[in-house]
Amino acid sequence: MTGQIGNAPRDFAADPLLDVAELSKRFPLARRGWLGGRAPAMVHAVDDVSFTLGRGETLGLVGESGCGKSTLVRLIARLTDPTSGSIRFNARELAALPARDFARDADRARIQIVFQDAGESINPRFTAADAIADPLRKLRGLRGAALQAKVAEAATLCGLPLELLDRFPHQLSGGQRARVGIARAIAPRPDLLVLDEPTAALDVSVQVTILQLLVTLRETLGISYVFVSHDLNVVRLLCDRVVVMYLGRIVEVGPARAVFDNPLHPYTRGLIAAVPRLDGLRAGGLRLAGDPKSPIDPDPHACRFHGRCPVGTDRCGTEMPALRRFPGSRQAACHFATEPA
């Protein structure tokens, strides 16, 4: 078990597993009438997002609710079609494949998700074994004894006692359900596992065991993780790098430890300052008051954080800051971000 903070910096960029470039997703606010009419207002859920994920790397995805994390996850997992941009997975372009046909794609097995609420994401009519067997049957074409063996293997890897396998989700504890959710996702042996708030519904004592399990699986199976969480302390424990999102756009990217210890973007600073700490220390006492702006047809020339930002000036209202590079493989989208001291 390795549990170093933020992990040692490794060069993941050389051989990216996932390369997302200029990815955008816009939803029309209302369906167009029978006769067409004016173009409807658009919700900019994900806007011009680019990042890479190395093999074996764990990338954290943080931000407030409504920042586009969930949509980005659905785009990466190919459950939703992007409006524009590219998603290269193992050097293959996936963005153009319609989501509804991706279920039968060869790469379906290689990108799997562990869902937020394991209780809700397991069909209540299926036993734990059925849930784990489902992707193996559909994606790996396994049947009979071979299927049973793989189900048992995945369950064992996830520390799930085999005698629990014929239970229904409501007969399992929260931690056991989380293990079923993870076993189901790793069963078809994906290269990329998206973890969508996998421990949000769990008590801390159980959360520890699940996080340790995820680290073990990462090492034994060599999977890359995209780890979505609102709990920055948990992200810090598991991730090599973090991506901070605000209103659909990336505001900061960098090695987890550097970002948490020395955030460049004012939003990241506010986010980190707001995390309650056991030692009771208030880091700077920076408060982000108010709510994010509306994601409906936002001003393309204004920083999304403008208005809520404690350091912004008029320039931020007229000029959208680009994601700039900083030393230490860091990036931040702020006119006023300076090199870390």
Q: How far is the CB of 325 from other proteins (least distance, A)?
A: 27
Q: Which is nearer to other proteins, 21 or 286 (CB)?
A: 286
Rg (the chain; Cα; Å) = 21
**Edge-to-edge strands of the sheet including 330-332?**
111-114, 192-196, 224-228, 58-62, 241-246, 249-255, 330-332, 324-326
Q: How far is the CB of 290 from other proteins (least distance, A)?
A: 8
Q: Which is nearer to other proteins, 282 or 324 (CB)?
A: 282
Q: How would you label 32-59 residue by residue, b for 16+ Cβ within 10 Å and e otherwise?
A: eeeeeeeeeebbbbbbbbbbbbbbbbbb
Which parts of the chain are beta strand (E)?
A: 16-28, 42-54, 58-62, 84-89, 92-93, 111-114, 192-196, 224-228, 241-246, 249-255, 324-326, 330-332
Q: Which is nearer to other proteins, 52 or 268 (CB)?
A: 268
Which residue, 233, 222, 328, 311, is CA-closest to 272? 233
Q: Which is nearer to other proteins, 48 or 197 (CB)?
A: 197
Strands 84-89 and 241-246: unpaired
Q: How far is the CB of 318 from other proteins (least distance, A)?
A: 24
Q: Which is nearer to other proteins, 256 or 316 (CB)?
A: 256
Q: How far is the CB of 11 from other proteins (least distance, A)?
A: 22
The Cα 229–Cα 294 span in angstroms is 22
Q: Which amino acid is at 125?
A: R
Q: Which is nearer to other proteins, 23 or 131 (CB)?
A: 131
